[in-house]
Amino acid sequence: MTVQTLAAVILGKGVHFLTRTLNIGGGSAAPGYYALKIDPDLVVHLASQIPCTIIITGTNGKTTTARMLAQFAKESGLKVIRNHTGSNLERGIASALLSHFPLLTSHLPDLAIWELDEAAFNKVIPKLKPDMIVFLNAFRDQLDRYGEVDSVVKKWCQTLKVVDPKTSIFINGDDHNLLALKDCFKGSVQTFGLESNKITGERATMQNKTHKLDFEARNIKLNGLTGSSFLLQTTNYKLQTTLPVPGIYHVYNFLAAYILAKKLDISDEYILNSLKTFQPAFGRVEKFDFGYIFLIKNPTGATQVLQTLAPELKSNDRLLLALNDNLADGTDVSWIWDIDFEQCKVQPFGFAQGESAKCKVFVSGTRAEDMALRLKYADIDPKQIAIENNLERAFEEARIGLKGRLFILPTYTALLELQRLLTKRGLKKHYWKEAT
């Protein structure tokens, strides 16, 4: 280790200690940010010492997929390092490496699992030299930062052209945007997807293109908020699976985690056993005594959440939608007009029709009025909508007289604010103290 790298490690560990001790953050980004100022190649130096590296990228599902895979790996006895707080830029990876890197011993992790931001992927991949990469999806998200989907995929293609052909690449074969990646990589690419209920992406010209999937979920049965069951099938075997988290999108996340686990020679026994105790990450179908929190951050993800909730909402349940336009959310909130709120008119959705028409909706955040207007244009009665920009007050008002469940759908920075609020009230731990 060079003097420069050693100095960066010592500084990073010091910042990590202070942020945790003083409760001013979880040390998920700041240690790496300052350490990289001293040694810009810190990630290269530390990551190269870990025997196996896996990258998970895509618009939605990175944190859940990484969490599942980490649980499978730990169940099998592997020592794992990952950026479990969801800090998925280079500084987040550097921070995770610093917090786990031993100065005086040689007990390094067996496996690194990194979730990578769609844009950061192109810069950081050459530094990590991964053994495996999985692409979950490519949806419109933070247009002011990423650009359109075609732009994101094109940059991924350029990066894959220089990735070692021995790297194992896996893509969501149902997302038509990702199929172009198969032509950009010199090595082999395997695909995963669903027999039905496919989430096919946004490229209309490729909607009718069919291809054989290497891993496929069949006979899918959705069991409300308790999860789903399906038959996982490959060319060689079948596995009946029960997933304890709801939503079609989580079936995709499981398939990705399962494929990576099998590549690591983790047995089905370890995978199925660890699924029984799997708990989602903070804000990703997180369950509380009062209800649930579902992170929303783009049109496709939000629509999938609504489709999951639609059959479940009752007249005594309530919704709280928190929309912020901070940098980490994306400053352009026009994406809310592409959320399929109109489905509420044709499904037994909580606040749209029939007995459920009394369901109250609270909107909050820096752009609460924008969300309220969007709901009005979806033919939701304005009398059912309460606007309160302050999230803490909105949370309190939504719980007053609550007889059913409260479903909270926040954008990213609103989710972080909720976590601080719930932690302060003793309703949950700091997210960085939760299981990794």
Distance, in Å, from the CA atom of 137 to the CA atom of 118, rounded to the nearest integer, reads 10
pLDDT given at position 359: 76
Q: What is the CA radius of gyration of the chain?
A: 22
Residues 266-276: tens digit of each pLDDT: 999 999 999 98
Both tokens assigned to 93: 């990876």
Burial (CB < 10 A; 0-12, 13-18, 19+), residue 310, is middle
Same topology between domain 3-188+196-210 and domain 284-433: no
8-state DSSP, 280: P
Please check the confidence at residue 240 and state whether its pLDDT lies above 90. Answer: yes
pLDDT given at position 200: 82
Cβ-proximal residues to 172 (8 Å cutoff; 6+ apart), any chain:
58, 135, 136, 137, 178, 191, 192, 193, 252, 256
- Do residues 410 and 293 make contact, with C-beta atoms less than 8 angstroms apart? yes
Strand 284-287, strand 291-294: pairing: antiparallel
Cβ-proximal residues to 170 (8 Å cutoff; 6+ apart), any chain:
132, 133, 134, 135, 189, 190, 191, 192, 256, 259, 260
Which of 105-109, 140-144, 146-150, 274-278 has the highest mean predicted lDDT (pLDDT)? 274-278
C-alpha neighbours within 13 Å on the C-beta side of residue 186: 9
Strand 228-233, strand 238-243: pairing: antiparallel
Q: Which residue has the higher pLDDT, 108 or 291?
A: 291
Please check the confidence at residue 91 and state whether its pLDDT lies above 50. Answer: yes
pLDDT given at position 163: 95
Both tokens assigned to 144: 């002011």
What fold characterizes domain 284-433? Protein-Tyrosine Phosphatase; Chain A (3.90.190)
- Do residues 298 and 329 make contact, with C-beta atoms less than 8 angstroms apart? no
Both tokens assigned to 170: 């896996």
Please check the confidence at residue 244 and state whether its pLDDT lies above 60. Answer: yes
C-alpha neighbours within 13 Å on the C-beta side of residue 428: 23
Dihedral angle sign, alpha carbons of residues 255, 116, 284, 74: positive
Tokens 């050459």 sit on residue: 126
242 to 30, 51, 78, 325: CA distances (angstroms): 39, 31, 23, 37
Please check the confidence at residue 353 and state whether its pLDDT lies above 60. Answer: no
Determine what percent of the chain falls in helix, strand and coil, rounding each to the nearest 5: 45, 15, 40
Mean of the per-residue pLDDT values for the chain? 88
Distance, in Å, from the CA atom of 23 to the CA atom of 279, rounded to the nearest integer, reads 24
What fold characterizes domain 3-188+196-210? UDP-N-acetylmuramoyl-L-alanine:D-glutamate ligase (3.40.1190)
- C-alpha closest to that of 10 among 72, 95, 92, 103: 103
Average pLDDT over residues 132-149: 80
Average pLDDT over residues 418-427: 88
Catalytic residues: 332
- C-alpha closest to that of 415 among 391, 398, 394, 433: 391
How do the domains of the chain map onto residue ranges? 3-188+196-210, 284-433
Average pLDDT over residues 319-337: 92
Residue 308 backbone dihedrals phi, psi, to 5 degrees: -70, -40
8-state DSSP, 357: G
Q: Which residue has the higher pLDDT, 160 or 148?
A: 160
Residues 155-213: tens digit of each pLDDT: 999 999 999 999 999 999 999 889 989 999 999 999 999 999 898 876 544 555 667 89
Distance, in Å, from the CA atom of 260 to the CA atom of 62, rounded to the nearest integer, reads 13
Average pLDDT over residues 126-136: 96
120 to 89, 133, 134, 141, 359: CA distances (angstroms): 6, 14, 15, 14, 41
Distance, in Å, from the CA atom of 197 to the CA atom of 218, rounded to the nearest integer, reads 10
Residues 17-50: tens digit of each pLDDT: 888 777 676 678 888 889 999 999 999 999 999 9
Please check the confidence at residue 334 and state whether its pLDDT lies above 50. Answer: yes
Please check the confidence at residue 432 and state whether its pLDDT lies above 90. Answer: no
pLDDT class of 102 with cuts at 50, 70, 90: confident
Please check the confidence at residue 434 and state whether its pLDDT lies above 70. Answer: no
pLDDT given at position 17: 82
Please check the confidence at residue 355 and state whether its pLDDT lies above 50. Answer: no
Distance, in Å, from the CA atom of 390 to the CA atom of 387, rounded to the nearest integer, reads 9
Distance, in Å, from the CA atom of 86 to the CA atom of 92, rounded to the nearest integer, reads 8
Tokens 């992927």 sit on residue: 121
Distance, in Å, from the CA atom of 339 to the CA atom of 125, rounded to the nearest integer, reads 32
pLDDT given at position 351: 46
- Do residues 121 and 57 make contact, with C-beta atoms less than 8 angstroms apart? yes
